Amino acid sequence: MTNPYEDAGVNVESGYQISKFVKQNTADNKSNIGNFGGMYEIPEGYKKPVLISSNDGVGTKLLLTENGKLDTIGIDCVAMCVNDILAQGAMPLYFLDYISTGKIDDKVKKILTGVIEGCRQANASLIGGETAEMPDVYSETSYDIAGFSVGICEKDNVLNKSNIKADDILIGISSSGLHSNGYSLIRKIFFKDHDFKMDSVLPELPNGSLGDYLLEPTKIYVKDVLPLLNHKEIHGIAHITGGGFYENIPRMLPDELSAVIDTNRWVKNEIFTAVQKYGSIKTDDMYHIFNMGLGMILAVDSKEAATVLAELNKSILQAWKIGDIVNKTKNSIELTGVDA
């Protein structure tokens, strides 16, 4: 006897199997996964706790996973949420995912493998989620993913614009590549304008195929930045996502201050050279769109800059002094070494 829901194209049992998969791979949350709502006990020791939340997806980057490489896109989803929470000065606590597809099959497990790994890197609990089988809305091979995360911070320690002072030093922390922004343009450049393939090897990209570079997951900064927040060494954070430097850095600045940045002070991933070359993009426009090798930028007191740099670079060189906060003269951000 057939199930009428299955006759309509929805396999209920496959959803149950996904819940079982998550339970088996998140041992600390076995009692939570599968309930009607995710539960999380607020940690003790906070006097005036503030909960800070974020939700996001990965945009059209997920279209590049059609070649079957699905185990990193979940990291991207977690990263886009927890890095935003970190930029407010908060410690990520938990994460929930939402995956919708035309057919629940092995691809969902592969995607969730990335989600679980992203939560591990962020030290955040995966306390729930939803996997929706939606035939006719999606094809059997297509899907979308979104995430929701919550973090916690003492109210007095929330990072806000009033913390930033003139003469603060700007420190940039390296990105892992493009992260999860600008992929509509990326796909146009490489696959429409030049007809490259994911396995194409370009001279500008010596360490792998084009697909390897494009699917490199977004860097999660929790383990690097959280100790600095706990020691109150950071005045402000800009998470460099869509809109690049020009949109995201001013979001942490008060109206009376500007950021002056020397773009020659850090090492940039080769992917940005390739994007600019094959897209014939002006350098200034690159900084309007992409992270250009820095996924997170910190504003710190000038007296703390050397300590912060030493802490960030204690195991690998990944952070540089890139500029200063100054009294505002004209624009919220000035980039030296950039041609219009």
Q: Degrees (nearest 5) of the Cα angle 41, 43, 45?
A: 145
Are 25 and 103 part of one and the same domain? Answer: yes
Task: Return the pLDDT at 327.
Answer: 96
Total structural domains within the chain: 2
What's the CATH code of the domain at 119? Answer: 3.30.1330.10
Are 96 and 176 part of one and the same domain? Answer: no
Condensed to tens digits (0 to 9), the pLDDT of residues 146-187 reads 999 999 999 999 999 999 999 999 999 999 999 999 999 999
Are 166 and 306 part of one and the same domain? Answer: yes
Are 194 and 261 part of one and the same domain? Answer: yes
Which residues fall within 8 angstroms of residue 310, CB to CB, at 6 or more apart?
none
Mean pLDDT, the chain, whole residue set: 92
Does 50 have pLDDT greater than 90? yes
Task: Return the pLDDT at 30.
Answer: 45
The torsion angles phi and psi of 264, rounded to 5 degrees, stand at: -95, 10
> What is the extent of the structural domain holding 44?
4-157
Higher-scoring residue by pLDDT: 339, 54? 54
Condensed to tens digits (0 to 9), the pLDDT of residues 131-144 reads 999 999 999 999 99
DSSP run (H or E) holding 312: helix 305-312
Are 165 and 153 part of one and the same domain? Answer: no
Q: What percent of the chain has pLDDT over 70?
A: 90
Are 127 and 237 part of one and the same domain? Answer: no
Using CA atoms of 257, 240, 101, 13 in order, give the dihedral in degrees to the nearest 10. -100
**Please, what is the angle between helix 222-230 and helix 305-312, to 10°?**
150
Are 153 and 165 part of one and the same domain? Answer: no
How sure is the predictor about 241, in pLDDT bands with cuts at 50, 70 and 90? very high
Are 149 and 67 part of one and the same domain? Answer: yes
Q: Is the pTM of this model over 0.85?
A: yes
From 100, 131, 157, give the residue that closes a domain: 157
Are 196 and 149 part of one and the same domain? Answer: no
